Amino acid sequence: MTSQDLVVAEPSFRLVAAGYGLRWWGEGWRSFTQAPLPWVGLALALLVLLWLIGELPLGGVLSQWLSLPLLAFGVIFAALLRQRATRAREITPPGMPLEPQNEGALNASAKAWSGRIGPLLLASLLVLAIGGVVGAIIVMGLGALFGLGLASMGALAKMMTPGMGMAAGMGAMAGSVLTLLLLVLLALYLFSVAFWFVNTLVAIGGVRPWDAVKLSVRAEFANLAPITLFTVLLLPISLLAMLPFGLGLLVLFPVLSGASYASYHDVFGDAAAG
């Protein structure tokens, strides 16, 4: 075996239309309706586990670190359900009801997930580390810009007449703060969706953690329109899921898992299969 044989080609990704953001919601719902009882059981188990982890010392940090690997279980389960639905569709005669064989899907998903737990934990650690660095940079940048704004306001006030200086300075300061706030919110949003595909690339595609982080950032910016449409709908849907004592989360988690796999499948297809 030569050194060239050890080089693994980086998976390629596609650009999809903005409307795919709606399509992913539909695929997520279909994934849930294919096996609702296993999905609800899995969602309940993961939510309880995350709650228990949160009660431990440093539970907040632990839950953030472990949430990505735990949620990857749902992505793997959604992928397996979709594969079985596709197989059933291929062998079912036209006009006959589609009956995918879902028995043993959870056990098979657990086996596949356990084989990827190490890379998933490392990928989650990388995401947390990058998030900490970016957060620190944003905080320091805000402090520096705020100090600059105060200095500018003072200089402007001295240049203006006594009756107008403070009003003009405050107006300029307010405009600067609003612009800065919008830029910070935009930066936070872009960062929050930059790792959209990390879970699926590691859990389904078998991509190495650091390569998955880099590839996710590139694919996310290339497909920002559908991801933004999906995210815009996520906020009201999440609020609705929280209304009946949070019971809607037992449905929202499966739908998000199915949607996550659908987005990976549409953008990467089989190119990242490992």
**What digits encode the pLDDT tens for the residues 204-217?**
988 999 999 999 99
| Backbone phi and psi for residue 172, each to the nearest 5 degrees, phi listed first | -65, -40
- Given pLDDT bands bounded at 50, 70 and 90, which one contains residue 4? very low
For residue 23, pLDDT over 60 is answered with yes
* Residue 97, domain extent: 17-268
Report pLDDT for 175: 60
How many angstroms separate the CA atoms of 84 and 230, rounded? 25
Place of tokens 């028995």: 103
User: What is the average pLDDT across 215-243?
Assistant: 90
The answer to the question of residue 9 being in a domain is no
The answer to the question of residue 210 being in a domain is yes
The answer to the question of residue 86 being in a domain is yes
How many angstroms separate the CA atoms of 20 and 121, rounded? 29
User: What is the average pLDDT across 54-61?
Assistant: 80
For residue 234, pLDDT over 70 is answered with yes
Helix (H, G, I), strand (E, B) or coil at 117: helix
Q: Are 191 and 127 in contact (CB under 8 A)?
A: no
This prediction has a pTM of 0.79
How many angstroms separate the CA atoms of 225 and 208, rounded? 26
For residue 267, pLDDT over 60 is answered with yes
The answer to the question of residue 274 being in a domain is no
The answer to the question of residue 3 being in a domain is no
The answer to the question of residue 50 being in a domain is yes
- In 3D space, the residue among 272, 257, 274 whose CA is nearest the CA of residue 75 turns out to be 257
The answer to the question of residue 7 being in a domain is no
For residue 274, pLDDT over 50 is answered with no
| The total number of structural domains that make up the chain | 1
The answer to the question of residue 8 being in a domain is no
